[in-house]
Amino acid sequence: MNEEIRNKLGVEENKPNDWFEVLYSESNESGNGVPWANMAPHPVFKNWIDKTSSLKKEKTALVVGCGLGDDAIELEAKGYKVTAFDVSESAIKLCEKRFPDARTEFVQADLIQGVKPWFKQFDLVLEIFTIQALPPKYEKTLIQNVSDFVADDGELIVIAEIQKEKRSYENGPPWLLNNDYIQSFEACGLKQVSLQSNNETEVGEEMHLAIFKR
C-alpha cells in the first residue's frame, strides 16, 4: 500500500488504531468498505476447526481483532464460551447488530494496550491477521499481549501471511510477518506444536496456520 492510500485511510504510524474506526464507522452490517470482511469465518480457520474433535467440556475462547464477528460465532457454535474484541467501537456495534442472539461477549479493547484482567484466562486464543494490520514497530508488544491471554495448558491459533522481506512501515498495510514471529511467540512462553503452510495468498508468499501451547 502506497503513501497516497495510507493518507486516504488516515493510517498513521503513531496513531495505529484510528483508521480501523474510520473503516467500520463508514461500513454497515454487510461489511461494505472493509477489505478483509469475509462475512463468514476465515476459510483457513474454518477448515481447521471443522477437523477438530468436539469439546468434552465447555472451554473459553478469545478472538483477537474480531472485526465483524464471524469467527467468534463459529467458535460459539462449536461449544466455546467466547469473548471477542476489536479496537473499533463501531465494529463491536456491528457485531451486536449482526448477531443479536449470540452468547458471545463482544468487547471494545486495544491490543496494543493489553487487557490485564484477561491474563492467562482463555483455553483458546485466535489471532487472524491482527498483528499484520498494525505497524511493525508494535510487533513485540502485540505478540507479548496475545501470548498473555493464553491460559496454562491453553492453545493459540495464529493465521498469518508470511513474507521474506524485512517488515517496514512503508510497505503496508498489511505489514506481513516474517518467519521469526514463531520464535517471538516462543520467547513469550509458548511452544509451537503445529505449522501448516500453503501458497494460497494473493499478498504474501505463504499462508500460515500455526498452533502454540503454553
Determine contact, residues 178/162, Cβ cutoff 8 Å.
yes
The rounded Cα 19 to chain-centroid distance in angstroms is 16
In 3-state terms, what secondary structure has residue 144?
Answer: helix
Instruction: Indicate the range of 108-117, 129-138, 161-170, 186-195 predicted with least confidence.
Output: 161-170
Supply the DSSP string of 34-73, one letter for each residue: -TT--SS--HHHHHHHHHSPPPSS--EEEEES-TTSHHHH
pLDDT of the residue at 40? 96
Tell me the average pLDDT across 187-194.
Answer: 98
pLDDT of the residue at 105? 98
pLDDT of the residue at 168? 93
pLDDT of the residue at 200? 61
Tell me the average pLDDT across 130-139.
Answer: 96
pLDDT of the residue at 59? 96
pLDDT of the residue at 55? 80
User: Domain-by-domain residue ranges, the chain?
Assistant: 3-213
pLDDT of the residue at 125? 98
Is the per-residue pLDDT at 167 higher than 90? yes
Per-residue DSSP letter, 175: -
Find the angle CA(60)-CA(61)-CA(64) to the nearest 5 degrees.
150
**Cis status, amide bond into 173, omega within 30 of 0:** yes
Reference 194, options 206, 179, 209; nearest CA is 209
Q: Which CATH class for the 3-213 domain? A: alpha beta
For 63-81, what is each residue's pLDDT tens digit?
999 999 999 999 999 999 9
95 pairs with which residues across the strands? none
pLDDT of the residue at 133? 94
- Which helix (H) or strand (E) element contains residue 141? helix 139-148
